[in-house]
Structure 1
Amino acid sequence: MILQANNQLTLQEFLNLPPGEGDITYELVDGQAIPKMSPKFFHSKLTRALLYMIERWCEGLGQVLVEWAITLTRRGQDWVPTPDVLYISYERLPADWDEDAACPVPPDLVIEIISPGQTFGQMAAKAKDYLDAKVLRVWVVDSKARSITVFYPDAAPQTYMGDQLFTDSLFEGLEFTVEQVFKNAKIPINNG
């Protein structure tokens, strides 16, 4: 279901919409309120594992949050995506910022986990949109391939799998392997 199929929603109209029924979350894309896919079991377990891992690393540096909408611009239009996980440093959003609102600035990191019915290509296109909106890193997590692909604003994407060690100068001190993430999430090797 798409809200306002014929009329373009402004950013303020979108932000003023009542909450969706049940657990439906909407994203503002090209002036339309588009429902986001409801997470399934593996998706939720991966979200939790990534959240805990980044939360341990970022203590005192910033915040890591689940499904927090962000006000950005995409192709010259207001865009409000709701990533699965995001990390925002206190340099980008001060620790004392305390409003019940969408994230007002681009975060340092956005994590999107591919859901059933989504393709890697769709997520790669969304990653480019995030980078164009000044997000510094985008991770696309593929539970079937057991991989994390990192998108950078100034370099080609890099896919991490298995026991390959992830490091990034933007996240100094954060080191992990993709296999550790999947083990912590208790995702079986043959998950579908």
Structure 2
Amino acid sequence: MSTVAEPRSVTQTPPPAQPTPVRLHPDPYDYHGERLFEVINGVRVEKGMGLIENLIATLLVGRLEPYCRTNNLGWGVGETMFGFPGSANDRKPDAAFVSFTRWPQARPIPRVNAWPVAPELAVEVISPTDKAFDVLDKLAEYFAAGVQRVWHVYSHVEQVFVFDSPMQVRVLTRADALTGDPIIPGFRLPLDELFPTTAPTP
């Protein structure tokens, strides 16, 4: 009697798994939470901002933007990311001004994360969590990129430091007024209208 061999099952060997690509530096813009940040050397760095600082920045942009638009001078913007040409960083000043001379009104705005232009004016409302050496590093970076004037607003002492270069500064108090000349001709904001009345620190 002949016997019929049963078919042997053949085990399929799965193909080797392909390695998953690893991003050494995640995309700093691939983020859906807090949008108040800058990109420093390819890494997202959060920007802390208190209530008083936020109110000051909002008021300043609220005065700056309509003045620039009405007088056909350029863009007055708030919390706009700028990618400075030649820099590895994307910076987001609390307020800024870009003239139509630097970026013509008819020139299309690119659909990118950071506007590839240096504003003529950059404003930083300094928060209690800001470190002095970071503030000064950013100040130097602004001027190196082509920014012409920087305003540092200190709410706790109600002063504004007006920088025309990293080494040339004027200090304004509540009795003074911020003026935009010659960058923003005619713009004027009394500082007693900028600083809100605050409660005593507990």
TM-score by length of 2: 0.75
Matches of residues 92-171 of structure 1 in structure 2 within 5 Å? 92-96=102-106, 97-101=108-112, 102-153=114-165, 156-167=168-179, 168-171=181-184
Q: Is the 8 A contact 1:111 1:140 kept in 2?
A: yes
Residue equivalent to 1:56: 66
Letter of the structure 2 residue corresponding to residue 138 of structure 1: V
**Does 2:78 match 1:66?**
yes
Q: Which runs of 5+ in 2 are unaligned?
A: 1-22
Q: Is the 8 A contact 1:57 1:173 kept in 2?
A: no
Report the Cα distance in structure 1 between the residues aligned to 2:185 and 2:149, rounded to whole angstroms: 14
**Does 2:88 match 1:78?**
yes
Q: Is the 8 A contact 2:73 2:184 kept in 1?
A: no
Report the Cα distance in structure 1 between the residues aligned to 2:61 and 2:130, rounded to whole angstroms: 22
Report the Cα distance in structure 2 between the residues aligned to 1:123 and 1:160, rounded to whole angstroms: 18
Q: Alpha-carbon deviation of 1:161?
A: 0.7
Q: Is the 8 A contact 2:139 2:166 kept in 1?
A: no
- The structure showing larger relative contact order (alpha-carbon pairs under 8 Å, at least 6 residues apart) is 1
Larger of the two Rg values belongs to structure: 2
| Structure with the higher fraction of residues in helix conformation | 1
Change (3 A) 1:78 1:191: same
The SS at the match of 2:55 is helix
Aligned length in residues: 175
Change (3 A) 1:179 1:119: farther
Residue equivalent to 1:28: 39
Query: CA offsets, 1:78-134, max 9 Å, x none?
Result: 110111111111111122323332211101111111123114553233112111111
Change (3 A) 1:190 1:171: farther
Q: Which runs of 5+ in 1 are unaligned?
A: 1-5
**Does 2:53 match 1:43?**
yes
Residue equivalent to 2:9: none
Q: Alpha-carbon deviation of 1:149?
A: 0.8
